[in-house]
Amino acid sequence: MARYQIILAYDGTHFLGSQRQAPSRTIQGELEKALRKLGWDKQTVYLAGRTDTGTHANGQVAAFDLNWGHGLESLRKALNTNLPRDMAVREVFLAADSFHPRFDASVRHYRYRLFCDEVRDPLRERYAWRVWPEVTDLTPLAAIWMGKHDFGAFGTPPKTKASTVRTVFFASWMHHGDEWTFDIQADAFLYRMVRRLVYVQVAAGQGRLPVEDLVRALKSSPVSTSGIGKNGKGHNIPSSLAPASGLSLVEVRYDNLLK
């Protein structure tokens, strides 16, 4: 018996998120079905993080215990043979028996893609948010999120009354043609935090939300127990979200571990 760490990629369009929710189709559920065909008899696989319905990934991390005597490459091929076409195991590693992809993670990296176009584009919108009216320069807004802040106005903690403080190590907007890409790396994220951060930045870029409100929201704790809505100084932060289709989990990094 050994613990394995795998890197998963998936198109989240037809999944009800990553976390198992029987009888719905989920990433965790499909991975566990594939493992059972290889003789896996445990109760659950562990994921680095939960992704929303419709969210994609090329760097999701999962771990599981399995009796397997045919090598790492053979395990990767066997899993991919039994996984649906919108999922794939990119890499397989041996991990320490104590390894947990969620609790041992030190950095998580998400990427959000959008494009500005007045006319809908069905193919592009599968993996990006079509925004109109056009946004002004979003580049300066990324610096707002850098550092350690209470992000309670922009997301919900995984458990009631849990901390909403997170540390953002990197945030950046890149612009090419009519496309914008937002990359953000942090120690952890609140539930739906990245999608809300993108939404409020687009709202600011369209002139619908003062940039000052974003800054003030980070400097005062939210009044709302859900962590969404008015912050301590009464400034409204929209509860709306950028569509899940534009979001991808790019990478999860681990200190002092193989991955």
The residues annotated as belonging to the active site are 52
Spatial contact of 174 and 135, defined as CB atoms under 8 Å apart: no
Instruction: Name the CA dihedral angle for 165, 227, 110, 61, rounded to a multiple of 10 degrees.
Output: 80
Query: How are beta strands 179-186 and 165-176 bridged, if at all?
Result: antiparallel
SS3 59: strand
Q: Pick from 91, 98, 138, 132: which is nearest to 115 by CA?
A: 132
Distance CA 191, CA 121 (A): 28
The answer to whether residues 28 and 40 touch, using CB atoms and an 8 Å cutoff, is no
Stated as kind and residue range, the H or E segment containing 80 is: helix 72-82
CA nearest 222: which of 163, 159, 148, 147?
163
56: left (phi over 0), alpha (psi -120 to 50) or beta: beta
The C-alpha atoms of residue 183 and residue 168 are separated, in whole angstroms, by 11
- Residue 138 CA to residue 50 CA, distance in Å, equals 27
